[in-house]
Chain A
Amino acid sequence: MTSMDFLLLVRGPLLVLAIAIFTLGFGIRLVEMLALGQKRNYAEPRGSAVLGGFKTVYRRFAPDPGTWERAPFDVVIGTLWHVGFIAALFLFIPHVELIRKTFGIAWPALPNPLIDAITVITLVALVAALVQRLRNPVKRFLSTPEDYLVWVLTFLPVLTGYLAYHRLINPYPLVLGLHILSVEMFLIVAPFTKLTHMVTAFIARWYNGAIFGRKGVQS
């Protein structure tokens, strides 16, 4: 198999397969979760559940003071790489182009050198997070093989993306193919591991916030 065969395989059938598994998996998970639902609440609502839900989704981007005092490292590093990962994912020109051609929507992208810098920060932060996980006895004790798998699957797309952008592996179709393949592994595994939090975190926040909102209390 030549590197071009490989690229065409991962850009075509494999990507379709990965997207199918990703959406299928998340479809099942979401319906199951949402169908759990809430018991009917007969008390008179004191405020808007919807508004409360969205407020909490937004508010919880900021760490509460307790977490910040107990684990500033986790907050800083966690925020850095999450923001970096999402920025590189949604604001890099080739990615925006992919979304535009696939779903017909687009938005302005950041200049490549900026994304490049963000990628480096993300990579460093991800490595720092791993080192801390390995060095902190409590964290190491709590970590399961799945945690390491999830770390690897998050790290690889960023790393291969960086290598592809700088053309550090030749020929280019090979490194681009590796990048796409790493993303496919991420997509396939996402619905069945902790990575589900990329969707469920928002639902959980909204759910909590909706309860608060209905009761008319601050969250």
Chain B
Amino acid sequence: MGFLFEDGNFALFRDGFLQTIELSALSALLALLLGTLLAACRVSPVPVLRGFGTTWVTLFRNTPLTVLFFAVTFGLPPLGVHFSHLTFAVLALGGYTASFVCEVLRSGINTVPLGQAEAARSLGMTFGQTLTQIVLPQAARTVLAPMSSVFIALPRNSAIAGAFSVSELYSAQQTFSERGYSIFAIFFWVACAYLVISATVALLFRSLENRLAVAR
């Protein structure tokens, strides 16, 4: 278990840990933005947009994340798109998670009572105002619990990026096993790192839930 504190191993481990956090945070941001946009499409009164949202979500939810990573990492360069591996990973992970965020938000929107929107409209608010100031804030609060499981899953899923040349925790594990350390010791430390990340996200959402709980 002590190998972590020998010959610069700790630096590698720390860099992997920070890279995992960076990748997760960027993907979470992209997933939130894109997911909100998709949810807006899926509940809009325009059938074409609803169809677009449904198709997107169906496609992305039913494609394995590994295949998405494969498609982005190997499919974009031949088209002349050259980003860093981290950017590719953020695109795949964010795009995948966005479809789950969209579904969670949509189910949250369905829990907002009709009267809230009617009150907003009777004040003369437009569709955009009703959505962004009345409905989405309330929906966001109701969906905190399901949303937390989406964002606890995200750092776990980010491990796949390591197999596509992003130097995060998974690739740190790979390097350690190439250096010949016991797989159980490596597994122990990597497991601890992921548990810390999951627990932090869970705590964050717990405190948000306590602070933002809706009294209805």
A, B: real partners = no
A residues apposed to B, CB below 8 Å: none
